[in-house]
């Protein structure tokens, strides 16, 4: 029985919202009513919804027994749990875990909370999700009870907005895993993964030093969260201040598409030795990445081309780019544009010549 409306709810209809109240299950009609009411209230306050992933998006965690010898120094640098608001590196011995908050996460949450009602949504279990929420939001001013874990989802290995009490047309998602949101890709801003610990690099198959091993970190002012905050501010501004349509009929997914298409709108891109021979170019991930960013992609060079993307400076098209004073960049340039929603300096993505050329 739905505890709000009193109607009987069978297993085929309705959704369980256990993170709000243990055992709470709402019927579909009640969910629609609640979303509509909440949406009207939120729009009055010029706010949208923001669903935030935890791991590799807002923070990075590792098991203590996974720390390498190069990371042992971190144990002496961890911050006190008695006042987490001032720290960023925490040793949670009762969970046998260490967590590093992503640079500028506190500024990000403070600024974002003025534009969005925020949810945490993690594939971690509930105890972990709640502990991370305490680190991120010790005063409970940002998330309240809106902490969703894998235990609350309706599909295994998937995240869905069916357990979020917000209308899909007003939800923005930040997550580092695109495949977790197969039904809601239009709501998603894909985040560059935060690999602070060595175990995180190993988990994703990277054979390189982690930030902790390098005793380094992302930039506070130019890192992933600082960059995506600017995107969110732009999206919020367009949604509330630039659209002519009735407020209730506006769709943040369309705003996201519009903002994305502006990033590379003046760029015409040709790829060289990036796709396998006989591969259908327009089906390649990089091609599909570039077009929603506003770029025009081509297989042939001409005077209108602005960028040649290649892994080898010795190819015919690469040499043409140099001769014609076009940008010659590594494929990582497109990936960076995709994550940061802005054009990074091309000179930071040089292309070297393959040996035996």
Considering only residues 306 and 145, tell me which one the structure prediction assigns the higher pLDDT.
Answer: 306
Tell me what the mean pLDDT of segment 317-340 comes to. Answer: 96
The 10s digit of each residue's pLDDT in 173-190 is 999 999 999 999 999 999
pLDDT band of 35, cuts 50, 70, 90: confident
The share of the chain scoring above pLDDT 70, in percent, equals: 96
Decide if pLDDT at 356 tops 70: no
Backbone angles phi, psi at 340, to 5 degrees: -100, -5
For the stretch 217-242, pLDDT in tens is: 999 999 999 999 999 999 999 999 99
Per-residue pLDDT tens digits for 271-320: 998 988 788 889 999 999 999 999 999 989 999 999 999 999 999 999 99
State the Cα–Cα distance between residues 136 and 310, nearest whole angstrom.
40
Question: Looking at per-residue confidence, does 80 or 258 come out higher?
Answer: 258
Domains of the chain, earliest start first: 1-45 (no CATH), 46-253 (3.40.50.1000), 264-348 (3.40.50.10190)
Bridge-based pairing of strands 171-175 and 147-148 is unpaired
Q: Can you give the pLDDT at residue 10? A: 53
Which residues 6+ apart lie within 8 Å of 143 measured at CB? Answer: 118, 119, 120, 133, 136, 137
pTM for the whole structure: 0.91
**Strand 188-190 relative to strand 171-175: parallel, antiparallel, unpaired?**
parallel
Q: Stretch 185-209: mean pLDDT, rounded?
A: 96
Our CA angle for 131, 133, 139, nearest 5°, is 110
| Nearest partner of 202 among 75, 89, 71, judged by Cα | 71
The 3 state secondary structure assigned to 37-100 is HHHHHHHHCCCEEEEECCECCCEEEEEHHHCCHHHCCHHHHCECHHHHHHCCEEEEHHHCEEEE
Q: What pLDDT is recorded for position 12?
A: 57
What is the predicted pLDDT for the residue at 333? Answer: 97
Range with the lowest mean pLDDT among 33-42, 72-81, 166-175?
33-42
pLDDT score for 357: 46
pLDDT at 7 over 80: no
Q: Is the pLDDT of residue 16 over 90?
A: no
In angstroms, the CA 316 to CA 293 distance is 26
pLDDT in tens, 97-111: 999 999 999 999 999
**Does residue 18 surpass a pLDDT of 80?**
no
pLDDT at residue number 100:
98
Is the model's pLDDT at 9 over the cut of 60? no
């Amino acid at each position: 029985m739905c505890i709000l409306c009193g109607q009987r709810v069978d297993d085929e209809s309705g959704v369980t919202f256990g993170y709000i109240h243990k055992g709470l299950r709402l019927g579909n009609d009640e969910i629609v009513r609640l979303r509509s009411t909440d949406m009207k209230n939120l729009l009055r306050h010029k706010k949208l919804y923001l669903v935030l992933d935890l791991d590799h998006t807002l923070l990075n965690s590792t098991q203590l027994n996974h720390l390498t010898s190069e990371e042992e120094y971190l144990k002496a640098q961890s911050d006190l749990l008695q006042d987490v608001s001032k720290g960023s590196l925490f040793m949670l011995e009762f969970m046998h875990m260490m967590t590093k908050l992503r640079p500028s996460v506190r500024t990000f949450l403070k600024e974002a909370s003025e534009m969005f009602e925020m949810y945490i949504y993690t594939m971690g279990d509930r105890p972990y999700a709640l502990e991370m929420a305490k680190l991120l939001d010790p005063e409970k001013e940002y998330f309240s009870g809106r902490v969703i874990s894998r235990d609350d989802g309706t599909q295994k290995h998937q995240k869905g907005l069916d357990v979020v009490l917000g209308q899909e047309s007003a939800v923005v998602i930040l997550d580092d895993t695109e495949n977790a949101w197969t039904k809601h890709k239009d709501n998603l801003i894909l985040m560059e993964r935060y690999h602070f610990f060595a175990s995180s690099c190993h988990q994703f198959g990277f054979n390189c030093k982690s930030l902790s091993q390098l005793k380094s970190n992302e930039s506070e002012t130019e890192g992933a969260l600082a960059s995506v905050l600017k995107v969110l501010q732009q999206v919020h501004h367009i949604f509330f201040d630039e659209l002519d349509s009735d407020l209730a009929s506006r769709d943040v997914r369309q705003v996201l598409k519009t903002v994305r298409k502006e990033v590379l709108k003046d760029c015409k891109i040709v790829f060289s030795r990036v796709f396998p021979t006989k591969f259908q170019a327009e089906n390649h991930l990089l091609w599909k990445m570039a077009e929603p960013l506003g770029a025009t992609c081509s297989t042939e060079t001409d005077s209108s081309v602005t960028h040649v993307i290649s892994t080898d400076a010795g190819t015919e098209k690469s040499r043409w780019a140099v001769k014609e004073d076009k940008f010659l960049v590594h494929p990582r340039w497109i990936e960076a544009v995709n994550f940061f929603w802005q054009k990074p300096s091309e000179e930071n993505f040089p292309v070297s010549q393959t040996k035996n050329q």
